[in-house]
Chain A
Amino acid sequence: MKSLYQKNKSMKFKKEPLDVDITSLLDILVILLVFLLRSYNATDLKLEVAKNIELPNSKSEDLGSHAIIIQLNQKDEIYINQKMIGTFSISDGKILSLFSQLITMKAETPEAYSKARSPAQQDSPTPRKVNLVFHKELTYDKIQAVLHTATLAGYSKFKFIVQGNGG
């Protein structure tokens, strides 16, 4: 006696291609795509905001660009390029930890800068830039100390990083 399975097997079924309804998946993908396109930022500045920093809001539309990033948070911790270098303390009119770090970085980069610039520009040195990320409640005396230290280290162009109204 043939088993039920064998009976079924012997029966000839027409194989039809399986239709998977992907409409709902496509809906989700389109929504995701629109959301990602809206939040896409064309800036070459990659910034991870340090702990205890809340950026001030601004209507500025200028996109950030790559440069050394100095961050100072509510707990007076100073970060350079996402790496903590010490806490805020002034001696000799400047923040020593920040100053020495900036001098080191300045010594490491002149070649890269001269390669990036055209020969015509090499005679007139472009001012070195720093991105400044401060907690919104910090007082100006601390900001002034950072600006002063950066200027002494040879970085005279400041770019204050702020949060756009959309973010």
Chain B
Amino acid sequence: MKKMKKRKIPKLNLIPIMDAVFIFIFFLLLSAQFLDIHEIIAEAPAVATFNEQINKKEPLNLVIEISKGEILVKTGLDAKLFKKIENGERGLDQLYIAMIDLKSKNIEENSVIIRPKKSLPYTQIVTIMEMVRRVRTEKEEITGTGSKGQIIKSKTLFDKIIFDSVM
């Protein structure tokens, strides 16, 4: 039988890798922000005048009035009541369904005016802003017909939030 020779396994030189990892760790430690911060963009109301009517279709003019007990969804220039929803967890689902319904009928519209009552807590306003901005999951998509008859697909609902901030 042949004698098997013991082959020595060469040792890896880990020093350069360790140096790089150390530098990387220091960089990450210094730039780390342990609070996971995100933003929701909104705008102040702006007034604009048009000399001629661009679109024959009446604008959606979506307004959401929020109080502690209920959420009122109004549409149109005459602020017609579209839906009255109870403010609560179930109400939020209903609001989301109403937003999807409105978006599919008005696929090119993207703005919503939010009008909360003065006593409403900020956290509830944020929750409602979430509901009206975009679809809940990546897979969801809303399809509608544009003004020129073309099919438009969208993952956003009404992401241009305007606050009724005038006191």
Residues on A with C-beta less than 8 A from B7 are none
Residues of B in contact (CB 8 Å), total 41
Q: Which residue of B lies closest to A72 (CB)?
A: B122
From residue 8 to 44 of chain A, which have CB atoms closer than 8 A to chain B? Answer: 22, 26, 29, 32-33, 36-37, 39-41, 43
User: Count the A-B residue pairs with Cβ separation under 8 angstroms: how many?
Assistant: 155
A162, B129: Cα distance in complex, Å: 12
Least distance between A73 CB and chain B CB atoms (Å): 12
* A166: B residues at CB distance < 8 A: 36
A63: CB under 8 A from chain B? yes
Q: Which of A77-85, A101-109, A110-118, A135-143 contacts B (4 or more CB under 8 A)?
A: A135-143
Q: Which one, B39, B43, B116, B130, contacts A131 given CB within 8 A? A: B39
CB distance from A75 to the nearest CB of B (A): 15
Q: Find out whether the CB atom of A147 lies under 8 angstroms from the CB atom of B119.
A: no
- Chain A interface residue count, Cβ-Cβ cutoff 8 angstroms: 56
- B1-51 residues with Cβ-Cβ distance < 8 A to A are 14, 18, 21-22, 24-25, 28-29, 31-44, 46
Interface pair B40/A141, CB less than 8 Å apart: no
25 sample A-B contacts, Cβ–Cβ < 8 Å, listed by A number: A22-B14, A26-B18, A33-B24, A33-B28, A36-B32, A40-B32, A43-B37, A45-B37, A62-B38, A62-B40, A93-B167, A136-B121, A138-B121, A140-B116, A140-B118, A140-B119, A140-B125, A143-B122, A144-B165, A158-B43, A158-B44, A162-B37, A162-B126, A164-B36, A167-B37
